[in-house]
Structure 1
Amino acid sequence: MAASPINTGADVRRLHHAAAPRGALSSSAAYSLTRVGGVRAGYATMIWGSRDPSCMKFFCWLLVQRRIHTRDVLLRKCIVSAEVAGCPLCSTTPETADHMLFSCPFAVEFWRRVDVAASGITVCKLVALATAVVVESEVEFALLCCWQLWKHRNAVVFQQQQPSIARVLGCCREDAVLWR
């Protein structure tokens, strides 16, 4: 695969999807991005209406749209090869968002320890369950757990930390207390 040349000229990219006349940012145009075909996406209220920190909301928004950079996405974008597209925690190929959060043996053990039956759960099912749940704290806790599993995965990949369920549980506990 040939490398793309680096453009040394002026940045000519534009923010088309949320732009007003003359290229300025438009909050109404940005708001319309929460709608799919003119109909508000059901998960938009669940995510953006939660009391979670903005960084976690953004992660969840990317997660439900299958845009977080798990190795299957990186493989599709030709950033990694098929040989290294496996899960960094269990070496299952390929690492998908569903695998990372719900079916990786590490994630299964994590959910077992927080007393949640994650067998057969996918991101789509989580969104469907979360939008049907009346108790907001349960939705926020599920999103918090997904966020912490993602951060832990990144620490293993980028900082060469050893996988530790105790560390993830501790981070979830600390954040739940902070955000309460």
Structure 2
Amino acid sequence: MKLVHRLYEPTSWPWKRWFFSRNDQTLDSHDDNSFIANLIHVELERYRSITHIRVGNGESTSFWHDHWLLNTSLAQLLSALYSHSTCQHLSVAETQRLTLCAQLRPRLSRSAAEEKILLEDCLSHVSLTAQPDCRILNHSSGTEFRTSDVYKALQTTLQPDPDAARLWKTKLPKKIQFFGWLLHRGRVNCRAYLYHCNIKSLEEASCEDCHGVLETTEHIFSTCPRAAATWLKIQISCRPERLLHPWLLGSELPLPYSVCFDVAMLILWQLWKARNARVFDHKSSSAEDVIRRVVNDLDTWHCRYGKLKDHLKAWRDHLHSCL
């Protein structure tokens, strides 16, 4: 989304000149199959939904798709008139030069004709200046693009994710929370994901220990022999579908549920680190090694749990007894 925002900025970068030379000065063109064009195609609609524009010269503002005249896009508000437009990707400046009638089909439906009268009345109050257009994030305090403002703007359009809330409320270090978020979103950089992103070939996407088996997240954390042996030793059932609900891992054991999710995340984290050690350092880890590292983590981070230290100790003692 930052990349899309920079394309809208008035600054001139070599990569922007290259991009616009392939796309006729518009972000709506889908003819270009470059990485940047594909990225923009994915993010542009969402970016427009959380921004509004203070129009200057109108050169970088989409007449139909940006929020510049009213609180929504003209394509959504005046859908009947938009369906009669023959030039749906023109800027505000280009529309002013061509006039509105020049870009509409000769015969308008009754509803389109009514919307045309309404739009012409609104456009009569618009006057362009020599200043560049200024794009502002909704709910932001200024014009600078800031990640925190993007999240605030998106919260008004996205449904809250209760599963993500569980994850960010754990007392684990941020690096493990971020790992859990990637796992929850299916974006852990396993070889199957890298193959899906065209970074690795299919021949390179196999598990390091299970040749010929595609290295998916389900394989790494559930069915790979190292993972299966780990879960078996600590008496926790981890079927592949349960990875989507890791807070349920270990709920079958007679141990405190208050820290169950944290312990499950630590086990998944150490399985991931064992996988990385095998891939990058060619070091193998047994199920006992994984459990021992989880126990060490519990000893290191027990101070984070305050009144729940005794609950964490119960899990620590259980894992230690499995070694």
Q: CA RMSD in A?
A: 2.9
Conserved in 1, the CA contact under 8 Å of 2:222 and 2:239?
Answer: yes
Instruction: Give the percent of matched residue pairs that are identical in Structure 1 and Structure 2.
Output: 26
Residue 165 of structure 1 and its aligned partner are, at CA, apart by 2.0
Q: Which blocks of at least 5 consecutive residues in structure 2 are unaligned?
A: 1-12, 17-35, 37-46, 51-136, 303-323
C-alpha separation in 1, matches of 2:160 and 2:237? 30
CA pair 49-31 structure 1, distance change in 2 beyond 3 A: farther
Is 1:68 equivalent to 2:188 in the alignment? yes
Q: Does 1:150 align with 2:272?
A: yes
Matched, 1:45 2:140: no
Q: 1:93 to 1:125 in 2, by over 3 A?
A: same
Contact 1:50–1:136 (CA<8 Å) still a contact in 2? no
Pairwise CA distance, 1:30? 3.0
Partner of 2:300: 178
Q: Distance in 1 between matches of 2:217 and 2:235?
A: 21
Is 1:117 the counterpart of 2:237 in the alignment? yes
Pairs within 5 Å for 1:14-163: 20=140, 21-26=143-148, 29-30=150-151, 38-126=158-246, 129=248, 135-163=257-285
Distance 1:152 1:11, change over 3 A: farther
SS of 2:237's partner is: coil
After TM superposition, the structure 1 stretch with the greater mean CA deviation from structure 2, 139-148 or 92-101, is 92-101
Amino acid at match of 1:30: Y
Conserved? CA contact 2:246–2:265, under 8 Å:
no
What is the count of residue pairs matched by the alignment? 165
Select the structure of larger CA radius of gyration.
2
Residue 81 to residue 107, structure 1, CA distance change in 2 (3 Å): same
Runs (4+) off by over 4 Å: 9-13
Q: Where does the alignment leave 5 or more consecutive residues of structure 1 unmatched?
A: 1-8
Whether the aligned pair in 1 keeps the contact of 2:218 and 2:240 (CA below 8 Å) is no
Q: Give CA-to-partner distance per residue, 1:140-162, whole Å, 9 cap, x none.
A: 00011001100110011001112
